[in-house]
Amino acid sequence: MRMLARNRRFVTQTLGAALTLAAAAGLAAAQQAGAAPADRPAMRNAPAEAIPAARLVAEPASLALRAGQTVPFRVRAFDANGREIANPFVQVRASNRGVRFADTTVTATAAGRYEATAMALGANGAPISITIPITVTWPALTRLEIAGTAGPLYAGLTQAQKLNGWHADGSERTGLTASWRSSDPRVATVNRFGDVTALAAGTVTVTAEAEGVKATRTYTIGTNPVARIEIGIAESQIRTGDVLHLKATARRANGQVVADAPITWSYTYVPDDSIAPAGLPGGAGIVQFDRFAANYPGRYTLLAQSGGAYAQWAVQVNPRDVRQRIQVTGRGNINATHTSDLWPWTGKNGRDYVLVGTWGGDGYALVFDITDMDNIVKTDSVRVDARTINDVTVSPDGRYGVLSREGASNRVNGVVILDLADPAHPKVASTFDQELTGGVHNMFATNDYLFAISGGAKYVIIDVRDIYKPKYVSEYRHPNARIHDLWVRDGIAYSAQGGVGVVVVDVGNGRYGGSIENPKLITTYRVNSGHEIFPYFQQKTGRTYLFIGDEEMSRRGRTWEGTQYSLAGPDGKPPRNGIAQTSGGYTHIVDFTDPMHPIPVGRYHLEDYGSHDIIVEDDILYQAYYDGGVRVVDVSGELLGNIYDQNREIAVFKPYDPDAYTPNAPFVMNAMPWKGRVLFTDFNSGLWAAKLLPKPVVQ
């Protein structure tokens, strides 16, 4: 199996859920309310001599601001003697993405009542905290616009409308509620959601009003010419998760095609014998973007309708049946510290190796020989000046490796480049820290260039053709965003950036005017995630899918809020035999074939766990799902809906280990396919190798 993966990593909390106010990097302080190591982009590596705080004071003590407004904000810390602590290590976490904290400011993005918690290291390693109430109001609405489907509206049809609103500064209002009315209810009516139902031929004006601002849209309604509908679907039998394209033709009584007639689709569902009658599932299928996918097996009748004309088509949906057993074949136990990322490669000597980072492990990276994945052998270790090596990577040609650094003793972090001429025993070739002093959390390596994320603010592109003399080439910083993850494919950099979502940049593709020396923005895509990203080209369909991971360490507000995990003990280091950490969030799936018109087609969502690193190879998703384990998922064909509901999971393994740093607490950081096996790292128990067993042949 050819390995197409790249480095993956343990990540910082989404902007707006956990951002730091620290002026300098690092805190190994505990988080009381379900936080995990990733929750502190600039605070997780405090110097051991950090002064414990006895009291925190927020200035101001409460916040009242408008959406779109940024105001000054800080938290002061005082010791037990009442003296103010200079440059305190303080973290502020908001209860909602409606507010975002930066070093000395807070920005509101959506109206509501929220609260933030400021935390610092107190006496005996216990955290102290204060709560900051936050009230955000909307600015005055200045403009409304009604958007409807293009084309005519015929009597007997209903058309949805969308109401858009803007403030004076050009920012868009979300969640608008308006009053609607029709100028002539005999011609058309409009409900409180803005749906217009045409009743008779004529002209009608629909008006929406919100906060004293009005918008209108006029419709000319014609007599419905549609007499019958012909369905053009060929398939009568599919599997759960398979996507049908919904095709139908509206015709007049004389058979002439009515090309502009809108057709709506729905379905009825009868479960098969594998679904208990007393437990019929909700959301049995999904109709969206003129496509249909079934979540559960059974008989579906697809209904096409245009006014009084309708037609139907029956489809039998069978179970997907892709499950395989997974079996552990080897271990690289790491239980004296936490484990972060991994990266496998084939060395110049023809043998296979994997580089593994440590989290809070005093700068150690480990090298294992994985040529025989039934017998994994540690060959060496490399130590650098860092508290955490969150990310590791190796160039595609196996010429060099890289360790990211966070929490260096002199606070000058950057990256350490390794010479892999002797792959079993790497040696340091050089260090590079130009524009990287804020800590490097994630990287991406090509044969000639290294992309390194600098303190969550930007990514720096480094020329590594001579690994002993790396050179700064260029950088890209997106405004009002915090970058966390990066993947480069075909000269295009896809990055996950909190506060924005996906940022796509031409870094050498050339089609969009960019180059490695002069990166140029292609587009952005807003999604409520700014952490993990993986672009995947699906050969069979010719589509490009973006898999985008949430990674939410706090489960606050969910029905199960987690384990109240605390990262640090009295000595400021992660405690042995502690409490298992928990997570939330899921993986978004976006059809990015046309980057200017992306379509959010699906997701991989398990409610009680949170997604982390993502790799897709040969139509299989290898998903590190934190406390949900490593999950291997079929993502073949077009995708639509929640693929977890569609029996697409091939295998799941949760690495329980009684001798782990935190015993029996699975927390999978990274998973990659490698030569027919699955390699993954667990935060508490180190390196694992597994294989999928062949499906038994049914006679």
Domain termination site, one of 222, 250, 283: 222
pLDDT reading at 554 higher than 80:
no
Residue 543 has pLDDT above 80, yes or no: yes
Name the pTM for this structure.
0.86
Give the residues across from 416 on adjacent strands: 403, 431
Q: In what order do the strands lie in the sheet with 188-190?
A: 158-159, 196-198, 188-190
Q: What is the pLDDT of residue 31?
A: 30
Domain holding 24: CATH number?
2.60.40.1080
What pLDDT sits at residue 198?
Answer: 94
Residue 14 domain-assigned (yes or no)? no
The verdict on 391 and 521 lying in the same domain is yes
Buried b (16+ CB within 10 A) or exposed e, 457-486: bbbbbbbbeebeebeebbbbebeebbbbbb
Overall average pLDDT of the 465-480 stretch: 96
How far apart (Å, rounded) are the C-alpha atoms in residues 5 and 413? 25
pLDDT band at residue 78 using 50, 70 and 90 as cut-offs: very high
431 shares a domain with 364: yes
Residue type (1 letter), 201: A
User: Would strands 63-66 and 127-137 be described as parallel, antiparallel, or unpaired?
Assistant: parallel
pLDDT band at 175 (very low <50, low <70, confident <90, very high): confident
5: in domain: no
Q: Which of 137, 166, 185 is the last residue in one of the domains?
A: 137
233 or 567: whose pLDDT is higher?
Answer: 233
Out of 25-39, 336-350, 454-468, least confident range: 25-39
Q: What is the pLDDT of residues 588-639, one digit of tens each?
A: 999 999 999 999 999 999 999 999 999 999 999 999 999 999 999 999 999 9
What is the full DSSP assignment across 50-87?
PPPPSEEEEESSSEEEETT-EEE-EEEEE-TTSPBPSS
Q: Are 38 and 624 in contact (CB under 8 A)?
A: no
Domain shared by 399 and 365, yes or no: yes
Q: State residue 4's pLDDT score.
A: 36
Mean pLDDT of 63-74: 92
How many folded domains does the chain comprise? 4
Residues 548 and 596 in one domain: yes
Which of the pair, 148 or 7, is modelled with greater confidence?
A: 148
Lowest mean pLDDT among 56-65, 75-84, 276-285, 389-398: 276-285
Closest CA relative to residue 629, chosen from 612, 617, 644:
612
Calculate what percentage of the chain has a pLDDT beyond 90.
72
Cα–Cα distance, 519 to 546 (Å, whole number): 20
**Strands, DSSP E only, in 334-376?**
338-346, 352-359, 364-369
The residue among 111, 137, 163 that closes a domain is: 137
* pLDDT band, residue 17 (cuts 50/70/90): very low
Q: Same domain, yes or no, for 50 and 76?
A: yes
- For residues 565-584, give the mean pLDDT: 72
Is 218 in the same domain as 237? no
Q: Which of 23-27, 186-190, 332-336, 510-514 has the lowest mean pLDDT?
A: 23-27
* pLDDT computed for residue 281 by the predictor: 61
**Strands of 686-692's sheet in order across:** 326-333, 686-692, 677-682, 668-674
Indicate whether 258 and 394 sit together in one domain: no
For the segment 79-101, the average pLDDT, to the nearest whole number, is 84
pLDDT(94) > 90 = no
User: What is the reported pLDDT for 283?
Assistant: 76
* Same-domain pairing of 216 and 295: no
68 belongs to a structural domain: yes
Domain that holds residue 130: 19-137
**Tens digit of each residue's pLDDT (9 = 90 or more) over 223-278:** 999 999 999 999 999 999 999 999 999 999 999 999 989 899 999 998 887 665 44
Beta bridge partners of 245: 291
Say yes or no: 250 and 275 in one domain.
yes
The answer, yes or no, to whether residue 50 has pLDDT greater than 90, is no
* Residue 287 · residue 265 · CB < 8 Å: yes
| pLDDT value of position 569 | 55
Residue 489 φ then ψ, to 5°:
-140, 130
Indicate if the pLDDT at residue 20 is higher than 50. Answer: no
